[in-house]
Amino acid sequence: MNERRLLKRNLVNPAAKGKNLAVLFIANFSILFVGMGLFPILPLYASQYEASPSQVGIYLAITYIAITLGSLTAGWLNGHISGKVTMLTAGALGAPAVLLLGQASTLWQVMALTAVIWFTGGVGLSSISMFAAANAKAEERGKWFGLISLTNPLGAILGSMAVGYLIEHHSFGVMHAWLAIEYALWPVMASLIKGESTFEKPASTSGSSGAIAVGKPIFLLMTAALLAAFTVSIARMGLSLEMKAQNFSAGEISNANVIGGLVTIPIILSMGMLSDRLGRRLFLVVGMLVSASSAVLLGAANQLWQFWMISAAVLAARSINPSLASALAVDILTPGALNQGLARLNAINWVAGIIGFAGAGYLMESLGTAALFRIAAGASFSAAALVGMLFLLRKQTHSAPSTVLSAAPCA
Contacts of 238 by beta carbon, 8 Å cutoff, 6+ apart: 295, 298, 360, 369, 372, 373, 376
Within the chain, which residues score under 50 in pLDDT? 1-11, 200-213, 395, 397-411
pLDDT at position 393 is 65
Query: What does the DSSP 8-state code read for residue 170?
Result: S
Q: Tell me how far apart the alpha carbons of residues 400 and 2 are, in angstroms, rounded to a whole number.
A: 13
pLDDT at position 14 is 55
Q: Tell me how far apart the alpha carbons of residues 295 and 234 are, in angstroms, rounded to a whole number.
A: 8
Query: With contact defined as beta carbons under 8 Å apart, do 104 and 110 qualify?
Result: yes
Q: Tell me how far apart the alpha carbons of residues 57 and 114 are, in angstroms, rounded to a whole number.
A: 14
CA R_g for the chain: 21
pLDDT at position 195 is 64
Query: With contact defined as beta carbons under 8 Å apart, do 326 and 129 qualify?
Result: yes
Q: Helix (H) and strand (E) counts for the chain?
A: 17, 0
Q: Tell me how far apart the alpha carbons of residues 117 and 340 are, in angstroms, rounded to a whole number.
A: 22
Contacts of 218 by beta carbon, 8 Å cutoff, 6+ apart: 329, 332, 333, 341
Note the maximum CA span of the chain.
Answer: 63
pLDDT at position 382 is 94
Closest CA to 229 of 151, 317, 120: 317
